[in-house]
């Protein structure tokens, strides 16, 4: 088995300079050294590679076939070596590296777009990977180290995770076009909504919104008729569009347009009751995450 070649960056630079100048004297002047040390560098490189790279002629120094093949590789290695210190510094500062972000479908309409723009403008060397996950899946992925940060709802208290509210909005009512509640000429009250078939959220797949809708109706003593349960807001909107009932959705969902769908305010609802949190592992070693938090959270670590 052939031993790996051992050579130095100085030897590579010497060879590239001679190859490009086609002259040892000009190459030595370019490198600001004398000619004898440059000749020794090239000779050591050739011995290490066990091939002849250059041939001296009366008029110039020419590349051998091996030298022709090695020259682009030598340039590539020098380029990587020159870039490596900056890459290391950028990674340590968080201006380079990787960020794996989990997000819910609705957070894509609110916070996520801002994050993408911030990363593109302020952290252009950071490699961004986006994964749509419900909150429960985001928590599992954070604890398993599969994502670095998430945009989630109803984040459970944990010593392992830190969380910060990044967005809040109200609920609005999604109705099929021509529905009685859409034609009142005023925002319907929760008690009026409860008299109609309601599409709501699944207790496991969409626990946060499921509990929020139940507590919202319970707060006014209403007992709605829940006809279907779904795990995602856009699935609820599709069922409402199909005429199966009405549903309460975060206001940002009103940006989603379906042919038989309309939205209306709800009388008496508290504003900003739907919250989105940024959540990350408290103990982490990702400078790019720290950079994102500093840029997007007012008092981030």
Render pLDDT for 178-204 as a digit per residue (tens, 0 to 9). 999 998 989 999 999 999 999 999 998
> What is d(CA 175, CA 35) in angstroms, rounded to the nearest whole number?
84
What percent of the chain is predicted at pLDDT more than 90? 54
| The model's pTM | 0.67
Q: Give me the pLDDT at residue 92, please.
A: 53
DSSP string covering the chain: -PPPP---HHHHHHHHHHHHHTSHHHHHHHHTS-HHHHHHHHHHHHHHHTS--EEE-SS-EEE-HHHHHHHHHHHHHHHHHHHHHHHHHHHHHTSEEEEEEEE-TGGGGTHHHHHHHHHHHH-TEEEEEEEE--HHHHHHHHHTTS-SEEEESSPPP-SSEEEEEEEEE-EEEEEETT-GGGGSSSPPBHHHHHTSEEEEE-TTTTHHHHHHHHHHHHTTT---EEEEEESSHHHHHHHHHTTS-BEEEEGGGGGS--TTEEEE--BTPPTT-EEEEEEEESS---HHHHHHHHHHSTT--
Q: Which residues make Cβ contacts (< 8 Å) with residue 90, sequence separation at least 6?
A: 96, 97, 125
Each residue's pLDDT tens digit, 81-116: 777 666 666 555 555 689 999 999 889 999 999 999
Cα separation of 231 and 201, whole Å? 6
Q: Which residues contact 235 (CB under 8 A, 6 or more apart)?
A: none
Residue 113, C-beta contacts closer than 8 angstroms, at least 6 positions apart = none
**Residue of 168, 114, 146, 163 whose CA lies nearest to 280:** 163
CA–CA dist 246, 196 (Å, integer)? 7
For residue 97, the model assigns a pLDDT of 85
Q: Tens digits of per-residue pLDDT, 137-164?
A: 999 999 999 999 999 998 877 889 999 9
């Amino acid at each position: 088995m052939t031993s790996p070649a051992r050579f130095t960056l100085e030897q590579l630079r010497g060879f590239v300079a001679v190859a490009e100048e086609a002259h040892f004297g000009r190459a030595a002047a370019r490198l600001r050294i004398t000619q004898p040390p440059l000749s020794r560098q090239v000779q050591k490189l050739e011995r290490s590679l066990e091939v002849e790279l250059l041939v001296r002629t009366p008029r110039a120094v020419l590349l051998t076939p091996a030298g022709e093949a090695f020259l682009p590789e030598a340039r590539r290695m020098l380029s990587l070596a020159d870039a490596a210190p900056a890459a290391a510094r950028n990674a340590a500062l968080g201006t380079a590296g990787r960020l794996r972000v989990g997000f819910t479908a609705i957070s894509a309409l609110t916070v996520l777009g801002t994050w993408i723009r911030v990363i593109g403008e302020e952290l252009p060397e950071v490699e961004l990977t986006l994964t749509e996950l419900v909150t429960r899946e985001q928590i599992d992925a954070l604890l398993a180290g599969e994502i670095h940060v998430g945009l989630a709802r109803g984040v459970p208290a944990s010593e392992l995770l830190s969380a910060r509210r990044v967005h809040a909005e109200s609920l609005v009512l999604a109705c099929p076009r021509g529905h009685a509640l859409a034609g009142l000429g005023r925002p319907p009250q929760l008690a009026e909504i409860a008299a109609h078939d309601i599409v709501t959220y699944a207790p496991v797949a969409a626990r946060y919104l499921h509990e929020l809708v139940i507590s919202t109706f319970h707060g006014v003593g209403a007992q709605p008729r829940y006809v279907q349960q779904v795990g995602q807001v856009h699935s609820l909107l599709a069922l409402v569009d199909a005429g199966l009932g009405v549903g309460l959705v975060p206001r940002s969902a009103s940006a989603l347009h379906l042919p038989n769908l309309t939205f209306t305010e709800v009388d008496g609802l508290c504003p900003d009751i739907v919250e989105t949190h940024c959540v990350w592992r408290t103990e982490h070693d990702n400078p790019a995450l720290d950079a994102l938090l500093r840029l997007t959270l007012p008092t981030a670590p």
